[in-house]
Amino acid sequence: MAQIELNGVGLSYFTLKQETEALRDVRMTVEAGEFISIVGPSGCGKSTLLSLISGMMKPTRGTVAIDGTEVSGTSPKVGYMLQHDHLFEWRDVLSNLLVGAEVRKMDLRKARQRARELMGRYGLGDFAHHNPTQLSGGMRQRVALIRTLVTEPDILLLDEPFSALDYQTRLLLQDEIYRIIKDQGKTAILVTHDISEAISMADRVLVMSRRPGTISAVYPVRLGEGKGLTPWQKREAAGYHAYFNAIWRELGGHVHTVG
């Protein structure tokens, strides 16, 4: 049984005046521990898809299931990482790491212990009592990921988590976040408009078509298999450019031409 399963999923937004069909007949499965990237043109429904998997929204048609049970609301099994880190500037790093645990009413003593372990393991051990303003953009995103990991989700939904960062930081952080997610054995779904990021981080890339969004192509990524390559190394691997070109063309098929 797949960990995540979407069957014939459709989603329409309704306002008083109109219906916007954002997603149509989306079918996908994700296995436990898999890393999936989703690329597609802006407005094709990528964020909407993540909201459906997280249980924040209900599909208009079809079903979303996690571990064989239909999703009917938000679940502690699912954690989110967003483009903006949403750290509280008046709380220090350790205290920020406990926000999710507080909201979920978890045992705070245990959560603090877990937060300290994760900070130590992932290079934030000396920053427990720094404020977010004292950290670089890349470090802030690492704090945001660890804050999610403190709540012990099985599945991480990453909505453009690197897009607000400068190019160099983005490349370095992709390697770091990838290492943390693999090390923790989490399932991840990354939404991005960056083809190179999608290929270098994922086991499979799903390409979405223009609205109403649906999955138009799936690319299992096989780069240096068994060698445990980092995203950085995958970009250098033989075969990388073939994936890039294929996905570029697939996306290009959905770009409007003028004239």
Rule CB under 6 A: choose which of 48, 174, 184, 187 binds ligand ADP. Answer: 48
Q: Which stretch binds ligand ADP (CB under 6 A): 42-50, 114-122, 127-135, 224-232?
A: 42-50
3-class DSSP state of 33:
coil
Counting contacts by CB under 6 A, is residue 22 touching ligand ADP? yes
Q: Which of 1, 16, 17, 42 binds ligand ADP (CB under 6 A)?
A: 42
From candidates 8, 20, 102, 134, binder to ligand ADP by CB under 6 A: 20
Instruction: Identify the sign of the CA torsion 220, 221, 222, 225.
Output: negative
Please say which residue, 238 or 255, places its beta carbon nearer to ligand ADP. 255
Minimal distance, residue 71 CB to ligand ADP, in Å:
17
Query: Out of 2, 7, 29, 47, which residue is the one contacting ligand ADP (CB under 6 A)?
Result: 47
Mutual orientation of helices 108-121 and 137-150 as an angle, nearest 10°? 140
What is the arrangement of strands in the sheet containing 155-159, beginning at the earlier edge strand? 78-81, 155-159, 187-191, 35-39, 204-208, 215-220
Binding mask 93-132 vs ligand ADP (x if CB under 6 A, - otherwise)? ----------------------------------------
| DSSP character at residue 81 | E
Is residue 44 close enough to count as binding ligand ADP by CB under 6 A? yes
Q: Is 46 in the site for ligand ADP (CB under 6 A)?
A: yes
Q: Which stretch binds ligand ADP (CB under 6 A): 43-51, 67-75, 137-145, 219-227?
A: 43-51
CB atoms within 10 A of CB 69: 9
| DSSP result, 217-251 | EEEE--SSTTS---HHHHHHSTTHHHHHHHHHHHH
Distances (CA, A) of 29 to 84, 188, 209, 218, 223: 27, 12, 18, 11, 21
Provide the binding-site residues for ligand ADP, judged by CB under 6 A.
13, 20, 22, 40, 42-48, 211
